[in-house]
Structure formats: C-alpha cells, structure tokens
Structure 1
C-alpha cells in the first residue's frame, strides 16, 4: 500500500498535481490537505476511475496530522503566489512559515516519508525543512528533495525547439545549482544525445531556462504563474521516486538535496562550497542512492554560470537556516 499526500492540494499547482497522482497506478491512497476546499477537490477526484482512494482534509480536527499519518510520500506545493504590493521578503516569510509548519507535522506522524518540496523559494525552503527534521531527530537526507524538475522540463522543451528535435522527452539535459533565476545552471555541453547550440543563441537559451517562469507570468497577464508545467514536473519526479521504491533501477533526475548527507555528495559540496545543491540523483528504494558529479567536464561558460549561482545559493541557504532557528515573531 502506497500512501501519497499533497499539501496545498487546492491550489493552482496542487489540483493538477493531485489529478496526475490520482491517475498513477503506483498509488493506493491519496490524501489531500489544504486550508480551504480540499473536501471538494477530493470528492471531485474520487469520481476518476482509477484505483487510488482519495480523501480531503482541512486544518480543523488536526486535519494535517490525519492527512500525513503514515504517508510514504509527501509532495508540498503549498504557499501563496506574490501579490501586488508584496515584497519578496513578505512572500518568503509567509511561504517559509507554511513549509516549516507542514514539515513539523510530517516529522511527527510520517518520519520516514519521502518529502518533495515544491514551495518557493526552494533554495531556502529545503534548508528550512532539513533544520526542522534535524531538530525533531528524524532527518534522513536521502529522503528530502527540492523539486527542480521544472527547470529540466523547460530545458528539454527549449533545446528541442532550437535543435529541431520532435521528442523533447528523449533528451537528457542536466540542470544543476538551485531553483531560481541565476542559481539555475543548464549544462548544454552535456545534453544526451548531444546537440549543438549555436553560439548566437546560447545566452538567450540560458536566460530562458533561468527565467522561464517570468514568461508564463507575463503570458497569464498577472493572473497566475507556472502551475500546469510545475504540476507535471512535480508528478514526474514523484513517479520516479515511487518507481525506484518498487525496485526499478537506473532512474536519474536532478534534485536539490543536502549534499553532505547523501552518497557521493560530500565531494560536490567541497567543489561548490555549498551544502545544498541540485545535481543528478540516482534514485533507489531508500531515496537518494547516489549524487552524480557532473561538474568535472563543464565548459568555461558553464564555470562562469556556476560562480554566479553559488554566490546566490549561499545567501538563500543561510536565509533558510536562519529562518528555521529564528522565525519572525507574529
């Protein structure tokens, strides 16, 4: 029996993500949690003719604990999008607080669950999650993931567009670093099967992968951000984790993890100077089987991107750790 939980299930990412998980034959029970509307979303999804039994929970009556109890995998897209007049710090404090609260519940009632953090800013919310799990004595770095798959999905799509490939999914494009703006490092030199990116298009392509979210916000004309593509990316990563648990071998996808705590991560941490970093991860029954170092063969252009990314990541990680230890007083 596999129990999956979506925390933030009534939101723009949560609803399509919950639909995709409901369709998965790998899931027997799907528990949905949010501060509003979850019973309705669960009722709606329960009419979909797939095996997963679906339930919806609200905060009342310890709903979060009931939803999370004995979960095998918890996917967290919870949070709010930035609203007009809101600073990035305002947004950070709200979303960081939401994630911290959810991880505290997970630590108590599902300490062995695989936790997939989607809530932005991932560069900071994953360090927050790690600190909370450490404080509760249940931190297993192999089971905590920052979902960066949307950067990979975008890179696959955009590289296919430029190179004329008709099946983007057949490309493997490593994207490493973090999960916002200049902390995102697409390694086009390591695309498989290999492709040639014309020099005059390289810089624009890098920027498009780094700031693809802005493209969506602009196209939605202020009425939303990347929700459908993020839901697909979150599902793609969750499905790989679940397949690996069931014994499938050779499943690799980049993810933002705590490097010192995973096999192969220590060397990458020394090389980059940061403890949290997204690299291709080989998945196994216990989560991270191995972090794969792809930084040995990078080009000069990619080295320059790495330098900028690491500077940004150091600040983001510190901000997350500081928040976990000293959350702002309400």
Structure 2
C-alpha cells in the first residue's frame, strides 16, 4: 500500500498534480492537505474511477499530522505563486516559512517518507528542509529531492522544436545546477540521442530554458505562473520515485540533492564547492542510489554557465540555511 501526500493540494500546481497522482496505478491512498478547500478537492477527485482512495485535510484538528501520517511520499507544491514584477526573493520569507512548517510535521509523523520539494525558491527551500530534518534527527539525504524536472521538460520541448522532433520526451537532456534563472544549466552537448544546436540559436535557447517561467507569467498577464507544466513535471518525477521504490531499474532524472549525503556526491561537491546541486540521479528503493558527475567533458560555453550558476547557488543555499536557524520574527 503506497500513501502519497500533496501538501498544498488546493493551489494552481496542487490540484492538477493531485489529479495526475489519482490516476497513477502506483498510488493506493492519496492524502491532500492545504489551508483551504481541500475537502472539496478531495471529494471531486474521489469520484474518479481509479485505484487511489482520496482524503482531504485542513489545518484544524491537527490536519497536517493526520494527512501526512505514515506517508510513503510527500510532494510539496505549497506556497504563493510568483506575480509579474515579483522576484523569487520576494516570495522567499512566505514560502520558506510554509516549507519549514510542513517539513516539521513530516519529520514527526512520516520520518521515512520520500520528500519532494516543489515550493520555490527550491535552491533555498531544500536546504531549509534538510536543516529541519537534521535538527529532528531524521535526515536521510537519499530521500530529499528538490524537483527541477520542469527545467528538463522545457529543455526537451524547446530542443525538439529546433531539431524537428515529434516529441521532446524522446530526448534525454541533462539540466543541472539549480532551479532559477542563471543557476539553471542545460548541457546541450550531452543530449541523447545527439542533437546539434546551431550556434546562432544557442544563447537564445539557453535563455529560454533558464527563464521559461517568465514566459508563462507574462502570458497569464498577472493571473498566475507555470502551474500545469509544473504539475506535470512534479508528477513525472514522483512517479519515477515510486517506480524505483517498487524495484524498477535504470530510472535516472536530474534532481537537486544534498551532495555530501548521496553516493557519488562528494566528487561533485568538491568540484563545485557546494553542498546542494541538481545532478542526474539514479533512483532505487531507497531513493538516490547514486549520482553521476555531469561536469566532465562539458564545453567551454557550458563551463561559463556552470561558473555563473555556482556563484548564484552559494548565496541561495546560505540564505536557506540561515532561514532555518533564524526565521524572521512575526
């Protein structure tokens, strides 16, 4: 019996993500948690004729604990979305506080769950989650993931357009580093099967992968950010984690992880000087089986992108750790 939890299930990402998980044959019990509307979302989804039994919880009567108790996987898209003109930093204190609170509950009632963080800024919120788990004595780096799959999905889509491929999902494109702006590093030299990106399109393509979220914010004209594509990306990664937990082999996807705590991570930590970095992760029953060093054999252009990424990530990670230890007083 697999229990999946969506924390932030009533939001723009949470609702479509919950729908996709309800349809997954790998989920037996789907538990939804949010500050508003969760019983309604759960009732709506519970009429769908797929396996998962759905329940919805609100904060009253310790709803968070009831929702997450003994969960196998907890996906966290909770938080407020970015609005036009708003930087990811503007969101920081609100979303960081939300993630910290949710991880505190998870650490208590589901210490062995896979934890998938979608809430932005992922570069910082994953570090916050790790510090909370460390303080509670239940930190397992192999089970904590920052979901960066949307960057990969975008890269697949945009490269397929240039290469004339029918679908981007037939391409494997490592996108590494972090999950905002210039911390996102697409490694087009390592696309499989190989695709040549014309020189005159390279810079614009990199920029589009890095700032694709802005495209959506602008197109929605103040009414939201990337929610449907993010829900798909979150589901794609969650389902890979669940398949690997059931014993399926060869499942690899980049994810933002705590390098010193995962097999193969030390080498990348040494090369970057960072504790957190999104790298191709091979998944298994215990989460991260091993990570692959994507920095070998990259091009000069890619090295320049990596250098900029490392600079940005250092600050983001420090900010997350500082927040975990000294949250702003309300």
TM-score when scaled to structure 2?
0.99
The alpha-carbon distance between structure 1 residues 294 and 82, as it changes in their structure 2 partners (threshold 3 A), is closer
Other structure's SS at 1:115 match: strand
Q: Distance in 2 between matches of 1:212 and 1:177?
A: 16
CA shift at 1:73, angstroms?
A: 0.1
Q: Distance in 2 between matches of 1:108 and 1:268?
A: 31
Q: Which residue of 2 aligns with 1:17?
A: 17
CA shift at 1:222, angstroms?
A: 1.2
Q: Distance in 1 between matches of 2:88 and 2:174?
A: 28
Q: Which residue of 2 aligns with 1:162?
A: 162
CA shift at 1:239, angstroms?
A: 0.2
Other structure's SS at 1:12 match: coil
Q: CA contact under 8 A between 2:82 and 2:225: conserved in structure 1?
A: no
Q: Distance in 2 between matches of 1:281 and 1:234?
A: 15
Q: Which residue of 2 aligns with 1:148?
A: 148
What does 1:11-50 align with in structure 2 at a 5 Å threshold?
11-50=11-50
CA shift at 1:286, angstroms?
A: 0.1
CA shift at 1:82, angstroms?
A: 3.3
Q: Which residue of 2 aligns with 1:126?
A: 126
Q: Which residue of 2 aligns with 1:192?
A: 192
Q: Which residue of 2 aligns with 1:108?
A: 108
CA shift at 1:85, angstroms?
A: 8.1
1:210 aligns to 2:210 (yes or no): yes
Q: Which residue of 1 aligns with 2:248?
A: 248
What does 1:1-330 align with in structure 2 at a 5 Å threshold?
1-83=1-83, 88-330=88-330
Tell me the matched-pair count: 330
Unaligned stretches of 5+ residues in structure 2: none
CA offset digits 1:256-312 (Å, max 9, x no partner):
000000000000000011000000000000000001111101000000000000000
CA shift at 1:90, angstroms?
A: 4.3
Moved over 4 A (4+): 83-90
Q: CA contact under 8 A between 2:22 and 2:52: conserved in structure 1?
A: yes
Other structure's SS at 2:280 match: strand
Q: Distance in 2 between matches of 1:237 and 1:91?
A: 24
Other structure's SS at 1:192 match: coil
Q: CA contact under 8 A between 2:7 and 2:76: conserved in structure 1?
A: yes
Other structure's SS at 1:185 match: strand
Q: Distance in 1 between matches of 2:5 and 2:285?
A: 18
Q: RMSD of the TM alignment (CA)?
A: 1.0
Other structure's SS at 1:36 match: coil
TM-score when scaled to structure 1?
0.99
Q: Distance in 1 between matches of 2:86 and 2:198?
A: 39
Other structure's SS at 2:250 match: coil
The alpha-carbon distance between structure 1 residues 88 and 159, as it changes in their structure 2 partners (threshold 3 A), is closer
Q: Distance in 2 between matches of 1:198 and 1:166?
A: 19
Q: Distance in 2 between matches of 1:265 and 1:87?
A: 30
Unaligned stretches of 5+ residues in structure 1: none
Other structure's SS at 1:281 match: strand
CA shift at 1:89, angstroms?
A: 4.3
